[in-house]
Amino acid sequence: MLAPCADFSAVLQFCSRHFGASQARTDRLCSVHCGGFSALTQPLRGISRHERLAALLIAAAALLEVVLITHHPIAHTAAGDAPFAGIKGVINANLFFHSVLMMVLVGQLVGVVLFARVLRLERAMVVAGLILCILASVMLAVAMTFDGFVTHDLVALCTASAHGCTGTTAESLQIILATTSAFSKVGFGAQCLGYAGLSVAMWAPGLPVRLAAVMGFVFSIAPIALIALEGGIGPSGLFKILSFLAAWGLCVAAVLASGIISDRPAHASSPLGVR
């Protein structure tokens, strides 16, 4: 594995006594020659703008999603009320809520793409994780479209109709609810698996980054267990799922901001290669 020249100090001390070793350093590369073996290293790189942006987007999305879900519009219908009275009262707020959530989802996906770029897109695990995250974003966007936009237009149309909202409208709303639930399950499942894949890809030498990788994997897998146990995604279940995913986002953002991924050289090989 490539490493700073300082990491070869012990090697140099040993080789200088037994074989006679030499070390040459330039601004870009450092080479060690020892007893018929040689190693070529490169200096560490700092945190890039893309990594800072990825940390900001992922952390902001994580926090905003948790805050937004606590303000999710919910239709309450008291006994004796018209069946659609509660829905009519929240359709505008529900439309605005899902519009904002879609924008947060876009920012989150951009952050994840940048994070995958940091982990190196030529790695199979990174590509698999990124594809699952993109699939998740599409599925969740479809779910939010039905829950926020289709519901709004359907209730608005029946309210403006001379016949009002009928049993047919109620059946249509049930179909929309089932569609939203199905796309949400697939979306969150794909997102959890994608995050788990990126967590595995984050594994590297060093206790801090390995601890972050393990924590990220646990945070990303936990929501799948919740969905399986509860069988559906209600308001309380949705809050739990997003809380775990937010924890994953904050963990990844902390890793990106700390630079412990940046401290790894861009290429990997054995420390000493036969000359």
pLDDT in tens, the chain (275 residues): 444 444 445 544 544 554 444 444 443 444 555 555 555 544 445 678 889 999 999 999 999 999 998 888 776 554 444 555 556 667 888 889 999 999 999 999 999 999 999 999 999 999 999 999 999 999 999 999 998 899 888 888 777 666 667 777 778 888 998 999 999 999 999 999 999 999 999 998 889 999 999 999 999 999 999 888 877 787 788 899 999 999 999 999 999 999 887 655 444 433 333 33
At residue 140, the pLDDT reads 96
Q: How many CB atoms lie within 10 A of CB 71?
A: 10
At residue 155, the pLDDT reads 82
User: 253 near 58, Cβ under 8 Å?
Assistant: yes
At residue 205, the pLDDT reads 86
At residue 233, the pLDDT reads 80
At residue 64, the pLDDT reads 95
The 22-25 sheet, strands edge to edge: 22-25, 30-34, 37-41, 273-274
CA–CA gap between residue 269 and residue 193 (Å, rounded): 29
Note the residue count of the chain: 275
At residue 262, the pLDDT reads 62
- Between the two ends of the chain, the Cα-to-Cα distance in Å is 16
pTM: 0.75
**Residue 25 — φ and ψ, nearest 5°?**
-125, 140
Q: How many CB atoms lie within 10 A of CB 225?
A: 11
CA–CA gap between residue 254 and residue 79 (Å, rounded): 49
At residue 236, the pLDDT reads 80
At residue 9, the pLDDT reads 53
Closest by CA position to 13, among listed 3, 24, 23: 23
* Residue 136 identity (one-letter amino acid): A
At residue 145, the pLDDT reads 95
At residue 90, the pLDDT reads 77
At residue 21, the pLDDT reads 40
